[in-house]
Amino acid sequence: MPVMSAPVELYPEWPRRECRRNQVHERVRLAALKLKDFIDTSTELGSINKVADKCKMPRSTVGDFLAGRCWPSALTIAQLEVGLNIDLGAGDTGLQYEFTLDDPPTMDELCDTIFGDLDK
């Protein structure tokens, strides 16, 4: 399995700028923004260290997720949601898939959608 570039490598302005070409990346970006907003507005858990301690996970895991140094695992997202009693789900991003089953994508188009346009 190929190694996937980190969010900040694909999107240098992570997480401030939308990932318009990739819904999966956009959902992860929105989860990072929700977590950042939670930390910024929390009176009790207003730091990465406090959130990590509360969720019983390494501080680097939370920090790397927020900074886009790595893609979070499903376990990381679930552990944050349960530990903080919040929903990090993106809901409706307003983005639409570019493909339908009637007009399936080529392998290159599919890879661009999943991994972003690596030629840029």
In a domain, 116, yes or no: no
In a domain, 38, yes or no: yes
Domain of residue 85, CATH code:
1.10.260
Distance between CA atoms of residues 115 and 83, nearest Å? 29
Take residue 102 and report the two structure tokens written for it: 């009637």
Distance between CA atoms of residues 91 and 87, nearest Å? 10
Query: Is there a contact between 74 and 80 (Cβ–Cβ < 8 Å)?
Result: no
Looking at residue 51, its pLDDT comes to: 98
Q: State which residues form the domain around 43.
A: 7-91
In a domain, 107, yes or no: no
Q: 82, 50, 15, 89: which is closest to 62 by C-alpha? A: 50
In a domain, 47, yes or no: yes
Put simply, whether the predicted model's pTM sits higher than 0.85 gets the answer no
Take residue 106 and report the two structure tokens written for it: 């080529």
Q: 29, 6, 31: which is closest to 19 by C-alpha? A: 29
Domain count within the chain? 1
In a domain, 99, yes or no: no
In a domain, 112, yes or no: no
In a domain, 44, yes or no: yes
Looking at residue 63, its pLDDT comes to: 98
Looking at residue 60, its pLDDT comes to: 98
pLDDT along the chain (120 residues), means of 10: 85 92 92 96 96 97 97 95 90 53 63 58
